[in-house]
Amino acid sequence: MVLNPQEIARSLWALSKRADQQDKIKHFLDHLARLANEEKQKEILFITSRYPLTQEVIDEIKKLVDAPADVQIQSKLDENILGSFQVSYRGLVYDGSVANALSQMKRLLES
């Protein structure tokens, strides 16, 4: 028997009424919803750049991060990005900005 998430939630809620545990079940379900939302956000390819990127560049970024061709993309323009772009996908951040490169060089020189 396969239950959908709503049926599982209703069953848990019904059981909690019997055991007087509604607060614990509600907290548990809220936590599951937050986790599901976080996982869903990880599957979005976030791209931040100073200027709009061409589809060709976006396709190259998809390859770089090993994202599927049909991945949902959320792009944002930021005038503070100097050259290149910043990408976030599946919890990892790829920062090709000039500011990041300079910061890395500074850390290397200081060590």
Q: Do 14 and 6 form a contact (C-beta atoms < 8 A)?
A: no
> What's the pLDDT at 73?
94
> Residues 58, 97: one domain?
yes
Residues 6 or more apart from 42 whose CB is under 8 A from it?
Answer: 89, 90, 91
Count structural domains, the chain.
Answer: 2
Calculate the alpha carbon distances from 88 to 16, 35, 93, 106 in Å. 39, 18, 4, 23
Q: Tell me the mean pLDDT per 10 residues along the chain, length 111.
A: 72 73 76 71 86 94 92 92 86 81 83 78
Angle at 11 between CA 10 and CA 17, to 5 degrees: 90
| DSSP β-ladder status, 92-95 and 44-49 | unpaired
> Residues 63, 35: one domain?
no
> What's the pLDDT at 81?
85
> What's the pLDDT at 42?
62
| DSSP β-ladder status, 72-77 and 92-95 | unpaired
> Residues 54, 30: one domain?
no
> Residues 28, 62: one domain?
no
> What's the pLDDT at 13?
75
> What's the pLDDT at 40?
63
> Residues 63, 24: one domain?
no
User: For the whole model, what pTM was predicted?
Assistant: 0.57
> What's the pLDDT at 53?
93
> Residues 63, 29: one domain?
no
Q: Which domain holds residue 20?
A: 5-39
> Residues 65, 79: one domain?
yes
